[in-house]
């Protein structure tokens, strides 16, 4: 059995793409996963050897220590192929290995700071040139980052089916899943308040926010819920491991895929949109270029990134009916197993055969 090494800056189970790669590649390959230990709840996967590296000190020290431990691992083991999830200066791995490597590019910069975005994206562009094989989530992201067409394969986002329920819409149970930094989720909370204040029907509504952000962002969300007197309606669950999401999605009937409509979010396929749809949930989604490719009148509604548009979307949703099974079936190609089996494994086999 061929030996694959998967490398991620993120703790195992918390960066979904490469976690799912490991989960389904293990059926055909011997998988080792190398990552930082963030001190989070550890997720275990049979037949995946997870090697944790202690995370301490400033970022430069963290990088040096990670690379030194990786160097030791590669001296002791021969891997047929490495899948490297990009992080800044990850191309330094080329200093101590000649192994075949796929650079996995999951995102460009989504920082609010234009200079920060410029330098991160430029670094990513130049680092991609170091490798013979790249994979990326979308053509539009590839174009933004100016990644070489010749050595890059587009492998889209996937999801599991978290829920097989058929829902009624006599009440609205919203859920948001994902990163909270720079996402303007506060607007959806204000929008919820506006809807409740203006709605004539007073339909029952709940809104669960499942996600993570820096301390300031999380504190701002928690305080806003309290300030708007929404503690009984809007709940903040914080970070939930991927393999525990089904219990939250099952209780929901509408997904919220709200990101600012900006040049840098426009090209970023939102994983949450795929996750909701594969579980049969219609989606309230901001009208980014990538969301426009997926969302239509049969599976949700596209809105501007404003408070009033979110409130109006809730008014529309309370009068709508959706076929949850039809929504689910339309997205089956996006199941992680299908993506790994039909796109990633053929790419790996092609590289290994050379």
Residue 144 inside a domain? The answer is yes
One domain for residues 227 and 151: no
One domain for residues 220 and 124: no
Mean pLDDT of 310-338: 92
Distance CA 225, CA 241 (A): 23
Residue 167 inside a domain? The answer is no
Answer yes or no: is pLDDT of 238 > 70: yes
Specify the pTM. 0.89
Asked if residue 224 lies in contact with residue 148, where contact means CB atoms within 8 angstroms, the answer is no
One domain for residues 248 and 346: no
* Band (242; pLDDT cuts 50, 70, 90): confident
Give the rounded percent of residues in the chain with a pLDDT score beyond 90.
Answer: 79
What is the pLDDT, as a whole number, of residue 201? 65
Distance CA 301, CA 169 (A): 15
Q: How many folded domains does the chain comprise?
A: 2
**Mean pLDDT score of the chain, rounded to an integer?**
93
One domain for residues 176 and 316: yes
One domain for residues 206 and 270: yes
| Tokens encoding 47 | 């037949």
Which residues are CB-contacts of 219 (< 8 A; sequence separation ≥ 6)? Answer: none
One domain for residues 347 and 327: no
Residue 164 inside a domain? The answer is no
One domain for residues 137 and 39: yes
One domain for residues 7 and 32: yes
One domain for residues 28 and 136: yes
What is the pLDDT, as a whole number, of residue 313? 96
CATH number at residue 208: 3.40.50.2000
- Nearest Cα neighbor of 133 from 164, 171, 166, 105 is 105
Distance CA 173, CA 203 (A): 11
One domain for residues 95 and 194: no
Asked if residue 339 lies in contact with residue 158, where contact means CB atoms within 8 angstroms, the answer is yes
| Tokens encoding 274 | 């795929």
* Band (229; pLDDT cuts 50, 70, 90): very high
Residue 14 inside a domain? The answer is yes
305-319 residue pLDDT tens: 999 999 999 999 987
Asked if residue 106 lies in contact with residue 267, where contact means CB atoms within 8 angstroms, the answer is no
One domain for residues 25 and 130: yes
Answer yes or no: is pLDDT of 213 > 80: yes
| Tokens encoding 270 | 């939102």
Q: What is the CA radius of gyration of the chain?
A: 21
Residue 162 inside a domain? The answer is no
Q: Choose the weakest-confidence range: 37-41, 65-69, 89-93, 181-185.
A: 37-41
Asked if residue 10 lies in contact with residue 39, where contact means CB atoms within 8 angstroms, the answer is no
Print the domain residue range for 43. 3-157+335-353
HSE value, Cβ hemisphere, 13 Å, CA-based, for 82 = 24
Quickly tell me which residue has 């980014």 as its tokens. 288
Asked if residue 12 lies in contact with residue 88, where contact means CB atoms within 8 angstroms, the answer is no
Residue 166 inside a domain? The answer is no
One domain for residues 245 and 323: yes
Asked if residue 180 lies in contact with residue 260, where contact means CB atoms within 8 angstroms, the answer is no
Residue 139 inside a domain? The answer is yes
Residue 235 inside a domain? The answer is yes
Region of residue 191 (phi > 0: left; psi between -120 and 50: alpha; otherwise: beta): alpha
| Tokens encoding 331 | 């997205």
């Amino acid at each position: 059995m061929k030996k694959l090494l998967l490398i991620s800056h993120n703790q195992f189970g918390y960066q979904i793409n490469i976690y799912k790669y490991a989960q389904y590649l293990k059926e055909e390959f011997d998988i080792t996963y190398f990552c930082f230990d963030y001190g989070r709840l550890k997720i275990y996967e049979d037949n995946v050897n997870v090697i944790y590296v202690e995370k301490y000190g400033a970022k430069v020290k963290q990088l040096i220590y990670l690379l030194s431990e990786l160097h030791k691992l590669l001296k002791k083991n021969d891997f047929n192929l490495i899948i490297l999830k990009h992080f800044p200066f990850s191309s330094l791995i080329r200093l101590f290995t000649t192994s075949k490597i796929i650079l996995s590019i999951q995102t460009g910069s989504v920082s609010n700071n234009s200079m920060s975005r410029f330098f991160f994206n430029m670094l990513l562009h130049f680092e991609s040139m170091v490798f013979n094989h790249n994979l990326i989530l979308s053509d539009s992201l590839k174009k933004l980052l100016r990644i070489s067409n010749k050595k890059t394969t587009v492998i889209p986002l996937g999801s599991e089916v978290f829920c097989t329920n058929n829902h009624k819409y006599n009440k609205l149970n919203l859920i948001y899943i994902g990163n909270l930094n720079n996402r303007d989720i506060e607007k959806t909370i204000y929008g919820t308040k506006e809807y409740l204040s203006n709605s004539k029907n007073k339909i029952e509504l709940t809104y669960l926010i499942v996600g993570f952000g820096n301390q300031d962002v999380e504190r701002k969300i928690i305080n806003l819920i309290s300030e708007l007197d929404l503690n009984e309606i809007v709940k903040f669950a914080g970070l939930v491991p991927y393999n525990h999401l089904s219990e939250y999605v099952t209780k929901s009937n509408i997904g919220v895929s709200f990101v600012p409509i900006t040049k840098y979010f426009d090209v970023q396929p939102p994983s949450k949109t795929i996750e909701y749809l594969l579980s049969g949930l219609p989606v309230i989604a901001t009208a980014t270029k990538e969301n426009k490719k997926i969302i239509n009148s049969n599976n949700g509604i596209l809105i501007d990134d404003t408070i009033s548009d979110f409130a109006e979307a809730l008014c529309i949703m309370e009068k709508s009916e959706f076929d949850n099974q039809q929504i689910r079936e339309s997205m089956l190609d996006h199941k992680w197993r299908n993506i790994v089996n039909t796109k990633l494994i053929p790419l790996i086999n092609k590289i290994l055969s050379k």
